[in-house]
Amino acid sequence: MTFFGIEVLNYNAFYMVSAIAIAVTIVSILLNKKFVDQERMKAMQEKSRNHQKEMDAALKSKDKAKISEMEKAQQEIMREFAEVMKGSMSYMIVILIAIFPLFMFMGSMYHPFADLQAGQTLSLGDVTIRAVDFVKEEGKAEQEEQVPTRVMLEAVQGNETQSFALAVNESKDVFNTRVLVKSITQNSDPKANVGAETLMLRLPFSFPLVGFEFGWLPLYILVGFIFGITGNKLTANIKFGVKK
């Protein structure tokens, strides 16, 4: 499915990560409303904006007495902000406790790593990554021990197989999966630390640090950000008694 040039690569993974991001965002918004006095917070934000305007005017006029007065007022505003934000610590602790196992789950499901010897496999949904063999460095003297520098891999999905070789810090996209080799153990019984990430979105443009293909974490952040904006508007009329 392509929507405005954005292609969904893995429907099940896309829906799962999106649902988790939306659920965590909803819980975060509701807990914020429960533990933080929203009316007082709005009043404090307005007070802070007015104070900043007065401070800017005092700085422009170089009125030392007014600047000193504004600095004292700023300390009081910061104290009031800290008091209002005390409630946010409660819901932040709850969210962090919930997010940690969710991130562990999504990381193991959609971006696992494993040390593979020849013949061993790493499964990621319907894609299996198999270490076939290791390629040793050429050009060494016969008396010197040759060490593997690349690992021969196979990616299998159903009846299809793709073969390729990767060195340390090399990656390749196969079957909407990004395969990466983080390290190769240099000994007589070599292992390769291989990671496989499920790719969920392909964009018509590139994001800094992410590129144009999204794995689970960029997708989680994107969905959470978008729903955080819309969710705040949708829940604007929901009010709780603030827990003291």
Q: Return the pLDDT at 69.
A: 84
Q: Return the pLDDT at 242.
A: 52
Q: Return the pLDDT at 92.
A: 81
Give residue 54's Cα distance to chain centre.
40
User: What span, in angstroms and rounded, lies between the C-alpha atoms of 140 and 146?
Assistant: 7
Parallel/antiparallel/unpaired status of strands 127-136 and 148-157? antiparallel
Per-residue pLDDT tens digits for 68-108: 888 888 888 888 777 777 767 777 887 888 889 999 999 99
- The list of the chain residues with pLDDT below 70 reads 1-4, 87, 138-146, 235-244
Q: Return the pLDDT at 143.
A: 47
Q: Pick from 101, 108, 69: which is nearest to 197 by CA?
A: 108
User: What span, in angstroms and rounded, lies between the C-alpha atoms of 186 and 142?
Assistant: 17
Return the DSSP state at 187: S
Q: Are 29 and 88 in contact (CB under 8 A)?
A: no
Q: Pick from 23, 196, 12: which is nearest to 99 by CA?
A: 23
Phi, psi at 152, each rounded to 5°: -85, 125
Q: Return the pLDDT at 140.
A: 55
Q: Return the pLDDT at 209.
A: 73
pTM over 0.75: no
Q: Are 230 and 209 in contact (CB under 8 A)?
A: no
Q: Pick from 20, 192, 229, 182: which is nearest to 109 by CA?
A: 20
Domains of the chain, CATH where assigned: 10-110+215-234 (no CATH), 113-203 (2.60.98.40)
